[in-house]
Amino acid sequence: MDAITQIACNARQAANILQTISTAQKSKALNLIHSKLASAKPDILLANKTDKDLALEQVQAGKLSSSLYKRLDLEGPGKFETMLQGILDIDQLEDPAGKVQAATKLDNGLELYRVSCPVGVLLVIFEARPEVVVNIAALAIKSGNAAILKGGKESFHTCSAISKAIREALEDAVLGDEEADSEAETKEGSKKAIQLQDAVQIVESRQDIDGLLKQDKYIDLVIPRGSNALVKYIQWNTRIPVLGHADGLCSTYVAASAKLDLAKKVVVDAKTTYPAACNSTETLLVHSSHLDTDFFQQLAQILVENNVTLKCDARSLENLNASALFKEHSDKIQASNDEDYDTEFLELTLAVKVVDSVEAAMEHINEHGSKHTDAILTESEKEAKQFMAGVDAAGVYWNASTRFADGFRYGFGAEVGVSTNKTHARGPVGLEGLVIYKYQLHGNGHASADYGAGEGKRPYLHEKIAVQEKETLGELSRKRQRLD
Amino acid sequence: MDAITQIACNARQAANILQTISTAQKSKALNLIHSKLASAKPDILLANKTDKDLALEQVQAGKLSSSLYKRLDLEGPGKFETMLQGILDIDQLEDPAGKVQAATKLDNGLELYRVSCPVGVLLVIFEARPEVVVNIAALAIKSGNAAILKGGKESFHTCSAISKAIREALEDAVLGDEEADSEAETKEGSKKAIQLQDAVQIVESRQDIDGLLKQDKYIDLVIPRGSNALVKYIQWNTRIPVLGHADGLCSTYVAASAKLDLAKKVVVDAKTTYPAACNSTETLLVHSSHLDTDFFQQLAQILVENNVTLKCDARSLENLNASALFKEHSDKIQASNDEDYDTEFLELTLAVKVVDSVEAAMEHINEHGSKHTDAILTESEKEAKQFMAGVDAAGVYWNASTRFADGFRYGFGAEVGVSTNKTHARGPVGLEGLVIYKYQLHGNGHASADYGAGEGKRPYLHEKIAVQEKETLGELSRKRQRLD
């Protein structure tokens, strides 16, 4: 077995253990990681200094951007502590695994339970920031998944020092955890401790990634967090499911009945609060009726005053050309070309297009959008419903800024990523995106041949068993025993 | 745009319409399909005769199996009517789309709803049986998805005749459905009717499939229903998510505390009731303590008497060699080789292996199984729980036959396929596997910049809104208005 396959195989073994451990054991592991990292702080900052010194040389040689250099730093005020606090915050979240999602009585004594469980092995690829290792390790362990991590090469020493501390913590998490009933159980415990260390592994090179992308036997989900180019490369080079998004091409449609003040507030927020974010609006669609009043000109004015450059189609350009605005800000009002409607600008540039109906707006979005988040601003509930049903995107918003598309803003407590996939998990993804389910069937010697139509055969009962949200199988059993 | 891209693009347009139509409209479409197919019965049977005549020549020339020829036939007693009844049965199932899965009040007037919606465009590839077209068309429409279908080439004339009737029904389903308020709405309605015809399309050749597998821009999910070779080919040749399973390598582990009568009943059922099914047991793992009594020999005896050939590892073979059973049935008791534990026999052959612990059984299954369905037979609840947590499979069973792994047996009312994936949908998949969700955010001019920490900023409320299971957004709104 080559080195890369061994990494993937070890991760799978760790995942097989992780799927069996309790919420309390996960909590113990997270708290141990927290304390090991706290005590390893001097070593980690020393490693961070090595990375920073190497990076500084690169910056001085013009080979690395100073913003990337900044993102490497773990020494800045409060940075290390914030990273550590993140572990405790994740520990406090609801365990997404082990929850009964549905239960059915197939027959007397034959009961089917759909129970959430970890996906298995995650491969997470991200760019420079070393604190991501800690964040992902905590998310993975909380959800019961093993993780293989590849950070930016600039942060390698820091990531390795962090990973060493996590490894030690994981070993301690299992050892001496349960009272062993026998020598065999003690032996089994030591074996588990050794295997569990591989629950979080770091790999270094791009070549490692290429090798790991082929390990679909062992790896269940790839999560790229980084540039469009990184995500696209991964999507095109693996058979393993990829959770993420390459583009965030969000649109906001200002319908005929939209209120001007509302539109000004929402569109400025959607475009200007963080232009480099994937949930920023890149295309503004405006109903043609707004060209007949000063609505569009006023909306354009506040955008331009907020330093936004408008790339306008012929109708909107003509409308603005005739206005006082154009005289003052001609540099910010430009003609668009076709590609502008397929471009994620990630800066204060906005493509503008005039449309004659909500259907035309929807058609534009379904053709040019990236299925991330699209908004309609309208006073018509009917039209809003039509838009939210007909636009094929992870987020469909009514009278709100596309910038709300975020796991923390949604209240998930953590964000694994934002997915523009059409299966598994869509939109901002919290811990729930790292679990799937198994069917447990509990019988008492039941055989399929006893069921069906015909003499001596029994029908299935298929009676629904009432389940509370987030109930575990243990809780459900105890509740049902009390009811009996 | 080439012909294949056009098919995929038309399917996407149809899907965009399908995601907006109501349960009542879907029901109307399904009932129209039912009646159109009923009245087209003579044409369809004529086309079926053409396919059968062509296939018969192939059978006579030894180029086609007679079982495949049989599966082509739609004329047999009750076959056509059963196919039609299937549409009405699917119509009666709960609409999986449009259900609120979760709702959160982010702030006053800013509410987030997670609502189920169709995946989009399905590509379904299956072998000979022409009634599958009708089944899939009905499942797709009920869940709001468009479908592109490729059947076996032997059933092409039948499938085309069926597809023609479905197309006519879909056109009628939209035309004149709603009272148009204006000429524009009438025009929009006609356009929709034309686009909706492409909700179910048939393609003919293998080349078409290769072209369609590249259409990840338009196609969201591939569902292969057929041989291991077909499924593997598709998994290896597309970036589109594939829902299905290549192998069904199920194991049953007879633990130390298992009862003999229970084991006999369950193992015989799991192996012999339909050996070619993916949920049949292929490997029997037996705890070594059963070699010390006549337990294993008795279990082997009933299997052999049911015509099962046992491929035994050294320990189990030695045990049986010493028994009277071997003298009578030496042809059915053979030594196994390594590959037998990775083989889906699909016939009355069973690989047998002796293990010394539940851990060893789990390790074997996690290494050799196909993550489909695996069972433990034990009287120990602790051991059963350990097995069901630690075995990484879609189905983990306790004292029940692996043959229960089936959508109808689970009570789903329909089965799209059985998935051994680790994401999206796992195990037998019903209509739920054909939906995903969108986040709807309803605001009133809310901007993200107003939230956060600091002066003048507001915190998010993140208050959970109570949702009943299977509630639509309309139902939830009405309920909340009543409560106000």
Would you state the pLDDT for residue B173?
79
For residues A230 and B289, what is the distance between their CA atoms, to the nearest angstrom? 54
The superfamily in CATH containing domain A3-236 is Aldehyde Dehydrogenase; Chain A, domain 1 (3.40.605.10)
**Closest in B16, B366, B397 to A443, CB measured:** B397
Would you state the pLDDT for residue A295?
97
**Cβ contact A399–B443 (<8 Å):** yes
Partners of B388 on chain A (C-beta within 8 Å) are 438, 440
Return the higher-pLDDT residue of B185 and A292: A292
Mutation for B interface: A17, A105, A410, most B CBs within 10 A: A410
For residues A391 and A280, what is the distance between their CA atoms, to the nearest angstrom? 17
**Cβ contact B446–A401 (<8 Å):** yes
- Which DSSP category does B111 fall into? E
Average pLDDT, chain A: 93
Mean pLDDT of B46-74: 92
Mean pLDDT of B180-195: 72
Would you state the pLDDT for residue B429?
95
- Nearest CA-CA partner of A104 in B427, B118, B6, B351: B427
**Closest in A396, A411, A439 to B395, CB measured:** A439
Mean pLDDT of B125-135: 88
- Nearest CA-CA partner of B230 in B213, B215, B214, B217: B213
- Chain A residue nearest residue B185, CA to CA: A359
Q: Taking the mean position of all CA atoms in its chain, how far away is CA A234?
A: 16
For residues A370 and A12, what is the distance between their CA atoms, to the nearest angstrom? 33
**Cβ contact B447–A266 (<8 Å):** yes
Would you state the pLDDT for residue A57?
94
**How deeply is A44 buried, as exposed, middle or buried, from its count of CB atoms within 10 A (0-12, 13-18, 19+)?**
buried
| pLDDT band at B92; cut points 50, 70, 90 | very high
pLDDT at A320 over 80: yes
Give start-end residues of each CATH 3.40.605.10 domain in chain A: 3-236
Please give the angle made by the CA atoms of B92, B97 and B101, to the nearest 5 degrees: 120
Residue with tokens 């304390």, as numbered in its chain: A35
**Cβ contact B394–A440 (<8 Å):** no
pLDDT at A467 over 90: yes
The tokens for B323 are: 């028994």
For residues B476 and B466, what is the distance between their CA atoms, to the nearest angstrom? 9
Q: Which residues of B11-30 are buried (b: 16+ CB within 10 A; e: fewer)?
A: bbbbbbbbbbbbeebbbbbb
Would you state the pLDDT for residue B178?
53
A244-280: pLDDT as tens digits: 888 899 999 999 999 999 999 999 999 999 999 999 9
Mean pLDDT of B400-420: 95
Mean pLDDT of A375-397: 98
**Cβ contact A403–B445 (<8 Å):** no
pLDDT at B131 over 60: yes
pLDDT at B179 over 60: no
Is B379 within 8 Å of chain A by CB? Answer: no
Give start-end residues of each CATH 3.40.309.10 domain in chain A: 250-406
For residues A410 and B462, what is the distance between their CA atoms, to the nearest angstrom? 7
**Closest in B112, B265, B421 to A445, CB measured:** B265
From residue A256, give the alpha-carbon distance in Å to each of A263, A358, B73.
Answer: 11, 9, 57
**Closest in A392, A439, A448 to B16, CB measured:** A392
Is A232 within 8 Å of chain B by CB? Answer: no
Mean pLDDT of B124-145: 92
Query: What's phi and psi for B434, nearest 5 deg?
Result: -100, 5
For residues B328 and B236, what is the distance between their CA atoms, to the nearest angstrom? 46
A194-246: pLDDT as tens digits: 788 899 999 988 788 999 999 999 999 999 988 888 898 998 899 899 998 88
A93-127: pLDDT as tens digits: 999 999 999 999 999 999 999 999 999 999 999 88
Would you state the pLDDT for residue A34?
97
pLDDT at A176 over 80: no
Q: What part of B 423-452 touches A (C-beta under 8 Å)?
A: 423-428, 436-449, 451
pLDDT at A191 over 90: no
**Closest in B15, B104, B394 to A439, CB measured:** B394
**Cβ contact A20–B404 (<8 Å):** no
Return the higher-pLDDT residue of A225 and A193: A225
pLDDT at B176 over 70: no
Give start-end residues of each CATH 3.40.309.10 domain in chain B: 250-409
From residue A165, give the alpha-carbon distance in Å to each of A29, A123, A161.
Answer: 12, 20, 7
Interstrand relation of B349-355 and B333-335 (parallel, antiparallel or unpaired):
unpaired
pLDDT at A178 over 80: no
**Closest in B20, B362, B441 to A397, CB measured:** B441
Is A146 within 8 Å of chain B by CB? Answer: no
Return the higher-pLDDT residue of B122 and A65: B122
| pLDDT band at A370; cut points 50, 70, 90 | very high
Mean pLDDT of B346-356: 97
pLDDT at B53 over 80: yes
Mutation for B interface: A185, A239, A436, most B CBs within 10 A: A436
Is A404 within 8 Å of chain B by CB? Answer: yes
The tokens for A444 are: 């008492």
pLDDT at B177 over 60: no
B258 within 8 A of B299, measured Cβ to Cβ: no
Would you state the pLDDT for residue B251?
98
A37-90: pLDDT as tens digits: 999 999 999 999 999 999 999 999 999 888 888 889 999 899 999 999 999 999
Whether domain A250-406 has CATH 3.90.850.10? no
Mean pLDDT of B280-286: 98
Is B401 within 8 Å of chain A by CB? Answer: yes
**Closest in A265, A426, A428 to B445, CB measured:** A265
What is the ipTM metric for this complex? 0.94
Q: Return the number of CB contacts < 8 Å for A and B.
A: 241
Would you state the pLDDT for residue B205?
80
Report pTM.
0.94
A401-458: pLDDT as tens digits: 999 999 999 999 989 999 999 999 999 999 999 999 999 999 999 999 999 988 999 9
For residues A353 and A284, what is the distance between their CA atoms, to the nearest angstrom? 6
Query: What's phi and psi for A443, nearest 5 deg?
Result: -125, -165
Please give the angle made by the CA atoms of B329, B279 and A107, to the nearest 5 degrees: 105
Strand order in the sheet with B281-287: A463-464, A100-107, A110-118, A435-446, B395-400, B373-377, B250-254, B281-287, B349-355, B309-312, B333-335
A149-173: pLDDT as tens digits: 998 889 999 999 999 999 999 988 7
**Closest in A20, A239, A422 to B235, CB measured:** A239
Q: What part of B 92-111 touches A (C-beta under 8 Å)?
A: 104, 106, 110
**Cβ contact B399–A446 (<8 Å):** yes
Element (H, E) at A26: helix A23-39
Would you state the pLDDT for residue A351?
98
Would you state the pLDDT for residue A173?
79
Is B185 within 8 Å of chain A by CB? Answer: no
The superfamily in CATH containing domain B250-409 is Aldehyde Dehydrogenase; Chain A, domain 2 (3.40.309.10)
| CB half-sphere exposure, A434, CA atoms < 13 A | 32
The tokens for B418 are: 């059985």
Element (H, E) at A4: helix A3-18
Name residue B166's beta-bridge partners.
none
Would you state the pLDDT for residue A179?
54
Would you state the pLDDT for residue B180?
55
pLDDT at B481 over 60: yes
| pLDDT band at A189; cut points 50, 70, 90 | confident
- Kindly state the greatest CA–CA separation across chain A: 89
Relative orientation angle of helices A41-60 and A23-39, to the nearest 10 degrees: 70
Lowest-confidence range among A61-65, A114-118, B193-197, B364-368? B193-197
B379-407: pLDDT as tens digits: 999 999 999 999 999 999 999 999 999 99
Mutation for B interface: A399, A438, A470, A477, most B CBs within 10 A: A438
Is A382 within 8 Å of chain B by CB? Answer: no
Lowest-confidence range among A102-106, B36-40, B132-136, B226-230? B226-230
